[in-house]
Structures are given as C-alpha cells and as structure tokens.
Amino acid sequence: MDQSQKPKTEVGQSPEKKQRTSRFPGFYKLDVWERLDKLADWYPLTTKEKWTLKNETLTAEQADVMVENVIGVFGLPLGVAVNFRINDKDYVIPMAVEETSIVAACSNLARIIRENGRLTASAPHAIMEGQVQLVNPQDPQQAAKDIMEAKERLLLLANRQDPTLVSLGGGAKDLSVRHLDTESGPMLIVHLAVDVVDAMGANAVNTMVETLGPVLGEIAKAEVVCQIISNLCDKSLVRARLEIDPACLKTKIFDGMTVAQRVVKAYHFADADPYRAATHNKGIMNGIDAVLIATGNDWRAVEAGAHAYAARTGRYRSLTKYRIEGGKLIGEIEVPIAVGVVGGVGKLHRGVEILLRLMGMPSRRELAEVVATVGLVQNLAALKALVTEGIQEGHMTLHARNVAYSAGAIGDLAIAVAEQMIKEGRIRFDRAREILKKKLSHKAETPGNGQ
C-alpha cells in the first residue's frame, strides 16, 4: 500500500490504530463482493470465508444437527454496521435482520456520534441465576433458615457439576431464598447465582439447579416442581451511554438543539405510556436482536429479559433515558443481556465463527457492551427520524427498492421504479406495477431495442 492509499488518522487516534478503523465512507455504494473485499482492510478474510459469508453460512447438514425435522435452511440478510467506536475501540458489527433501514440507520448515526461525541459501555461479571421452586414447605421460615445454613455445602455440590467452569474462575458464587404467596400456596424460591465467564450459561446453570433440587426438597421438606435458569439476568445489567453535540442533529426544519429537546420529550412519552413504550423498546431490540442473531446468541432470551426488566417498577417503561446536560444530548440504556462467545451454535455455524473473528473475538462482556450500544444507537436514530421528518420518509425511501423488486423489476429498472415512487411519494406495490408496465412498454417501443 503506497502512502496515498493509507487511510487518514482520525483525531485522537494513535498511530498504531491507523489501519484499524470502522469508518468506511461509501460502503453502502459497493456491491456485495466489493464490501467483502473492503473488509479485508479490517480483517484478513480468506476467499473461502468471503464465499461462506456470501453464499453458505450454514448448510442443511449442519442444521440437521442443530434442530429437529430439518428440511432446509432459512436465510436472513446479513449486513455489517460500520463507523462504530465504543470505549475508544472500533468495531465492524454484524447484523442479521430482514427489516429495511436498521443497518443504515445504525451506521449513519454511529458516524455522526464518532465525529461529534462519544460512545461508552460497561458490563459486569457474567452472573446468571437458576431457580428451584419448593412448594408448600412444612415450615417456610425454618426451611429458609435451614437452606441458608447449608449454603456452603450446596455451593460445593453445584460446583462439582462443572469443574471446567470453576477452573476458569467461574461457577456457583451465591445462593439466596425468596418467599412467595401464590394461589397454589406458599412457595420458597431458591436462587443460585453462577458466574458463567464467556458462555451464555444455560446448560451449566440448569445442570446445577437440577442437581440441587432434590437436596433442597429434603432440607425444606417441600415438593420440588421447577428447576430452571431465569432469563431476567438483572445481575448482568449492561449499560451504554452516548454523548453528542446537538448541533449535528439539525435538519432542514429544526436546529440541532430543538431536535435534541424533541428527542427528550419523545423519551418522556415512552417512559410514561406503555403503548408508546412497546414500540419504543421494539426499536431498541431491532438493533440488539440483529447482532444477537448474527453472533449465534439466544435473542429470545434477551428479549424476554429486556421486556421483563422494562416492567420491573410495575409499569412497562422505556429501556433508554435521554436528557440535555452541559449543552450535550446524553442518552443511556440499562438492560440485562445474556450472551456467549464459546460453545453453543458457534461450534456448528461456520458463519458465526467468522463473524465473531470479524468483531475481534470479543469476550462475553465486550460483546454484551457492543449489543447494548447498538440498541441505544438504533433507538436514537429512530427517535431522531420520528421527531423530525417522521419515521416513514426514511424508512419508506429505503423500502422503495424492495417494493420495486416485489413488483417484478430487476437491476437498473428496479432503481428507476423506486426513484419514481419516491419522487411521487407513493411507495406501493400497485404503483410499482404500473410504473414497471409503462417502462417496459416504452422500452419495447423504443427504436434500437431489437424490434
């Protein structure tokens, strides 16, 4: 590479990071192979790996090992969000999602933030909890006391189920008891807190609580019903924060500070009204789920935990918060996230393995930080659109080409049909068919077309 080809060093970027930037101007203008080639500036993908990502990240034979009654493989578009810098480290972030505009919105806002603000995130140790349900104990108070007196013995028993996890510094760390009054009578719920290190931890935790269940039943003189991990992992809360100069948010209609103030008002709406909060938080999960799917993680578990956490006060509320402070727009998210980077799908899914390496093989903690940050960035991108030109303008503009393809247009013709629908402000299937019919008719009548 000659000097003229070297990427520019960004402000505050050390010399050794010159070749490691997620800022790819014009990335969206490239075709698929050109994008894969461009990623070679970021990570040295082999030709085989590029082909795998483009054509076959998962075979039917591999899928047949993963789930039952396999008849094939169902694909999703796989994109990468660029421009992200989190905790002063650049990331190219894989996103598997079928909804138009999500990858573009994330990439665009990440660019704005890196040039006019900062993204930071933090995640604690990876603590997951398992629960053992003890029904109708003879003496609930005495049973709880007896369980806590046996705590050290119970933790040792749990840790004997996974010596490898313990050797890595993880394992069962704590045990507690909760009392519930239910329609079925009194219950004691025993919580086992397990440090799962870099795994999602479901298998390890479930094995431990299933081992402890019969022992706890004897101690409490109670019936054991359920022994299972909880997906409300509120001991693994992940926090992300953005700080941005409002001036960069200006539009043709609003100045930047006005946009920031409208974003804050939109957040207050979502935080006060569960009808709005449901859509607000869905937008957050648009970003979170896309990264989880691309990295082979259980997006359903994270969804369940996130929505349960949003309702922890007794009312379903926003997972994000916004305020203006010191002349800056501050956005924050706090969400329970359980992810893994070892075991699970990654062993079977070639694409997941490649994509984790493309991200720099993050630890569980680092991946959780990235996931939460993408959710926050996606949320601000949606709010900015919502409080300015409206959500449909940008979304439907990007959707127009999909409509054109659905109507039967391909290649340059699809682009022409999409552009005309955008110009008319009528992005509909029936209109696409009308435009396509006219263009095909005109093309057939034009001299020089082989007629």
Task: Give the residue numbers annotated as catalytic, written as ranges.
Answer: 99, 282, 298, 395
Per-residue burial over 387-421, b if 16 or more Cβ lie within 10 Å, else e, is bbeebeebbbbbbbbbbbbebebeeebbeebbebb
Alpha-carbon torsion, ordered 125, 170, 224, 178, to 10 deg: -40
* Strand partners for 80: 94
> Would you report the helix, strand and coil content of the chain in percent, each value rounded to 5?
50, 20, 30
Cα–Cα distance measured from residue 225 to residue 137, given in angstroms and rounded to the nearest whole number: 12
* Residues 139/140/142/143 CA torsion (nearest 10 deg): 100
d(Cα 444, Cα 438) in Å, to the nearest integer? Answer: 10
Please, are residues 290 and 350 in contact by the beta-carbon 8 Å criterion? no
Which helix (H) or strand (E) segment holds residue 322: the answer is strand 320-325
Enumerate residues 6+ apart whose C-beta is below 8 A from 127. Answer: 173, 193, 194, 195, 196, 233, 235, 236
Overall size of the chain counted in residues: 451
Give the DSSP H/E element, type plus range, for residue 35.
helix 32-38
Q: How far is CA 22 from the centre of its chain?
A: 18
Which residues make Cβ contacts (< 8 Å) with residue 324, sequence separation at least 6?
Answer: 246, 257, 260, 261, 264, 330
